[in-house]
Amino acid sequence: MFVLSSMIAKKLNYLFIPILMFSVANTSLATEDEKMKILEKNRNTVTRYFEEVWNQGKLDVLDEILSPEYINHSPGFENPKPGSEGLKPIVSAIRNGFPDLKYIIEKLIVTDDYVAVYVTMTGTHTGVFFGIEPTGRKIEVHQMQFERIVDGKMIEHWRVTDDLSMMRQLDQIK
């Protein structure tokens, strides 16, 4: 009986090990598939942020892609409100100063909770820009931004802009 049980056990092991391996592999694939969906969703959120909000001026998109708790850690002015209501005036002010504003995504690194993006901002200064009267000058400025994303919505933002270069291009400093 022991020999028969041992032989049956060996045969059963040969049956169950591939099934177990398939099951683990399938779980792993599901996890990877889920991760890929999160990465794609995060990439789409940040792409929409630049293309629809900044390039096209669709401020209502902010209500879709920003968390109500969104914090702008580098707003350009003091203490904007959290959420989309704090960012809308900033976008409007910059787009008023540069009506042909264009952001080009140069580099994009996406994780499950952060997106790092290197962009080039271009435009022609034909409107008042944070108190600077129109100069008619074209600008090309580089920025590095980090966006923290939770459940497909941006919740925190950090930005570093080459402001010195921008002020030189606007003939505000030598």
98 falls within a domain: yes
pLDDT one-digit tens code per residue, 65-118:
999 999 999 877 777 899 999 999 999 999 999 999 999 999 999 999 999 999
How does residue 174 score in pLDDT terms, banded at 50, 70 and 90?
confident
pLDDT of residue 79: 76
d(CA 21, CA 64): 41
pLDDT one-digit tens code per residue, 22-62:
333 434 445 888 999 999 999 999 999 999 999 999 999 99
pLDDT one-digit tens code per residue, 137-167:
999 999 999 999 999 999 999 999 999 999 9
**Nearest to 119, CA basis, from 166, 154, 161, 164:** 161
Domains: count for the chain: 1
Q: Please name the residue ranges forming H helices in 49-126.
A: 61-65, 84-97
Residues facing 115 on adjacent strands:
110, 147
Phi first, then psi, for residue 128 (nearest 5°) are: -65, 130
Write the CATH number for 110: 3.10.450.50
**Nearest to 139, CA basis, from 165, 173, 172, 174:** 165
Residue 66, both tokens: 């920003």
Instruction: Flag whether pLDDT at 7 surpasses 70.
Output: no
Calculate mean pLDDT across residues 10-15.
43
The conformation of residue 135, written as its DSSP 8-state character, comes to -
Can you give the residue range of the structural domain that contains 157?
Answer: 2-169
pLDDT of residue 80: 86
30 falls within a domain: yes
> What global pTM score does this model have?
0.80
pLDDT of residue 5: 43
44 falls within a domain: yes
Query: For the chain, what's the residue count?
Result: 174
174 falls within a domain: no
Instruction: Flag whether pLDDT at 10 surpasses 50.
Output: no
Instruction: Flag whether pLDDT at 18 surpasses 60.
Output: no
